[in-house]
Amino acid sequence: MRQPFEPSPAPGDPDPGAAGGADAAERAAVEQPDESDRARQSRTSRPRALILLWAIAVVVIVVDQATKAWALAALDGQDRVALVGRALGLVLVRNPGAAFSFATGQTWLLSLVAIAVSLIIIRVSRRLASASWAIALGLVLGGAVGNLIDRMVRAPGVLRGHVIDFIDYGGYFVGNVADIAIVAAAGGIVVLSLGGWEIDGTRATAAQEDAGSSRRRRERRSTSHRARRERS
């Protein structure tokens, strides 16, 4: 059977196949999302991240102060209450130092440090767009404010008040809920930092990814421009 005759294009006419390829390249240059777009889509919105940060902080503060009030009412004047043998127990301690009874005698300095940390977190939170960082910073803020409240309102005076500790870790140190939040946050911050995650939800390699994405966009646009010139 004889095939239908298809005239070949004249020397000056554009190649239909090249035109179709150029159109496809042009559509790919416009429609294909790059890595930076996907990274932006994976971030948490800043309002949500701020809400999460403050929610975590408020929960830590409320639980910390509630458990301290309970400890004052239930453990004052009592012997150590064993929870897990000698490894974990409850005993009331009025601590003039830092978390887990460290830096005893430097209460006023620790109070100023807690105030500074809280202000830094509030300032940094303006760039916050990461749920993980929101949780970590919320734990730090809640823990710092929880112990700062004790130092502000308890005896012997403002900025010198003793922090209420009641969780005994095998006789090595005694802490509270605020201390637990601070230590958990420190671990989370280390993990996030080692993973390259930034407070704004990007990663440390984002600049390299953006550079690669820009290069690929330029290549696609260059291909599209060459195809247009071939058609003209």
DSSP output for 3-18: PPP-PPPPTTSPPHHH
Q: Is 165 helix (H, G, I), strand (E, B) or coil?
A: strand
Tokens read off for 180: 């637990």
- Exactly one of 79, 165, 200, 210 is catalytic; name it: 165
Give the neighbor-by-neighbor strand order of the sheet with 88-95.
81-84, 88-95, 163-168, 174-175
Please state, in angstroms and as integers, the Cα–Cα distance from residue 148 to each residue in 42, 102, 140, following that order.
35, 15, 12
Based on the residue annotation, tell me whether 179 is a catalytic residue of this protein.
Answer: yes
- Exactly one of 64, 150, 168, 179 is catalytic; name it: 179
Question: Which of 71, 60, 77, 70 has its CA nearest to residue 174?
Answer: 71
Based on the residue annotation, tell me whether 64 is a catalytic residue of this protein.
Answer: no
Catalytic residue positions, numbered = 165, 179
